[in-house]
C-alpha cells in the first residue's frame, strides 16, 4: 500500500480549492508522519484518545481535525491544540468548547454537523435546530468559538442519486445559513462533505473540504 501515491492521486483528482483531510483513525502515527513528510498538514481522527496520542508524536504544525462525535467531558483534552471540530451538534457541546477555549485563551474552530442522511443513527442537527442555536442569546455571547461552516455525512448506500440529493440539500442549507447568519463573517466558508466513496459527488455539489480515510490508508480493521 503506497499511501503517498494514494494521497497524490486524490489530490490530483480534486480542485485546488478543496481541502483534503486525511482521516488516519485506527492507523499508526508512522503513517501520519509519512504523509506529513510530503506536505500533508490536515489529519482527521474520530476518537479523542487516539487524537491526543498521535498529536504528541507529531510536529505542532499538524492541523488536527476532530471529525467524530465529541463528548462534552472530553473537550478539554483537545482544546489546547485542535484545529477544527467537525461534529458540533448541540448548544451544550458548543458551550463546553467555548469554555475550554477561554481556559486555553484561543478561539476553537467549529463546524456544525447537519443530519442529512436517511439513517437515524447518524448524529447531527436539522436546519431548524441549528437556527434555534444561532438565534439564542447564549450563542451570541460566546467569544472563544469560531464557526467556520457545516459538515455532513450522506447515507451509506450504493445509490449515488440518493447521496447526491443529500449533498445538494446540505449545500442549500449552507447557503441559507450563511446568508441569514454569517453575511458579515467571511470565516463561515467551509462545507465539509465527502468521504472515500463519495467525495467526487460531494465536490460536484459544492464541497470544499473532503475527509478521506480508506482511499489513502487502505481499509480499516473494523466494520
Ligand atoms: C471515518 C470517517 C471518514 C473517512 O471515511 P473513509 O470512507 O474511510 O474515507 C470521514 N468522515 C468521518 C466523520 C469519519 O468518521
Residue pLDDT, tens place only, 94-145:
999 999 999 999 999 999 999 999 887 668 999 999 999 999 999 999 999 9
Per-residue pLDDT, averaged over 6-28, amounts to 98
Question: Cα(59) to centroid of ligand 1, in Å?
Answer: 23
Share of the chain above pLDDT 70, in %: 98
Measure the CA–CA gap between 125 and 130, rounded to whole angstroms. 6
Question: Cα(218) to centroid of ligand 1, in Å?
Answer: 12
Res 121: pLDDT: 63
Measure the CA–CA gap between 167 and 163, rounded to whole angstroms. 6
**Ligand 1 pocket, CB under 6 A:** 23, 25, 46, 67-68, 153, 195-197, 211-215
Work out which ligand 1 atom sits closest to the CA atom of 23. 4
pTM: predicted TM-score of the whole model, two decimal places: 0.96
Measure the CA–CA gap between 220 and 26, rounded to whole angstroms. 7
> Does the pLDDT of residue 7 top 50, yes or no?
yes
| Whether 139 contacts 128, CB under 8 Å | no
220 falls in which pLDDT band (50, 70, 90)? confident
Res 120: pLDDT: 77
Res 73: pLDDT: 98
Measure the CA–CA gap between 140 and 100, rounded to whole angstroms. 17
Report which of residues 45 and 219 the model is more confident about. 45
Measure the CA–CA gap between 172 and 169, rounded to whole angstroms. 5
Per-residue pLDDT, averaged over 142-164, amounts to 97
> Does the pLDDT of residue 223 top 50, yes or no?
no
Mutate to test the pocket of ligand 1, among 211, 212, 219 (most ligand atoms within 8 A of CB): 211
| Whether 18 contacts 209, CB under 8 Å | yes
For ligand 1, atom 11, the nearest C-alpha belongs to: 211
> Does the pLDDT of residue 210 top 50, yes or no?
yes
Give the CB-side neighbour count of residue 146, counting CA atoms within 13 A. Answer: 15
Question: Cα(102) to centroid of ligand 1, in Å?
Answer: 30
| Whether 3 contacts 35, CB under 8 Å | yes
Question: Cα(144) to centroid of ligand 1, in Å?
Answer: 27
Question: Cα(103) to centroid of ligand 1, in Å?
Answer: 30
Per-residue pLDDT, averaged over 34-54, amounts to 98
128, 147, 144: which is closest to 95 by C-alpha?
Answer: 144
Helix (H) or strand (E) holding 86: strand 84-88
C-alpha grid cell, residue 35 = 504523509
Measure the CA–CA gap between 99 and 9, rounded to whole angstroms. 40
Per-residue pLDDT, averaged over 32-40, amounts to 98
Per-residue pLDDT, averaged over 186-203, amounts to 98
> Does the pLDDT of residue 85 top 60, yes or no?
yes
Mean pLDDT of the chain, nearest integer: 96
Amino acid at each position: 500500500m503506497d499511501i503517498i501515491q494514494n494521497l497524490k492521486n486524490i489530490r490530483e483528482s480534486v480542485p485546488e480549492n478543496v481541502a483534503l483531510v486525511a482521516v488516519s483513525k485506527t492507523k499508526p502515527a508512522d503513517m501520519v508522519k509519512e504523509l506529513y513528510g510530503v506536505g500533508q498538514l490536515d489529519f482527521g481522527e474520530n476518537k479523542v484518545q487516539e487524537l491526543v496520542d498521535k498529536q504528541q508524536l507529531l510536529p505542532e504544525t499538524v492541523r488536527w481535525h476532530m471529525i467524530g462525535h465529541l463528548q462534552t467531558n472530553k473537550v478539554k483534552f483537545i482544546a489546547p491544540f485542535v484545529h477544527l471540530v467537525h461534529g458540533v451538534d448541540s448548544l451544550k457541546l458548543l458551550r463546553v468548547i467555548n469554555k475550554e477555549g477561554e481556559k486555553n485563551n484561543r478561539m476553537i474552530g467549529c463546524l456544525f454537523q447537519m443530519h442529512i442522511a436517511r439513517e437515524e443513527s447518524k448524529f447531527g442537527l436539522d436546519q431548524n435546530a441549528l437556527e434555534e442555536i444561532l438565534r439564542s442569546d447564549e450563542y451570541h455571547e460566546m467569544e472563544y468559538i469560531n464557526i467556520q461552516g457545516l459538515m455532513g455525512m450522506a447515507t451509506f448506500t450504493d445509490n449515488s442519486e440518493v447521496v447526491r440529493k443529500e449533498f445538494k440539500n446540505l449545500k442549500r442549507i449552507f447557503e441559507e445559513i450563511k446568508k441569514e447568519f454569517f453575511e458579515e463573517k467571511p470565516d463561515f466558508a467551509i462545507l465539509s462533505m465527502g468521504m472515500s466513496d463519495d467525495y467526487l459527488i460531494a465536490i460536484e455539489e459544492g464541497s470544499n473540504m473532503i475527509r478521506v480515510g480508506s482511499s489513502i490508508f487502505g481499509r480499516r480493521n473494523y466494520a
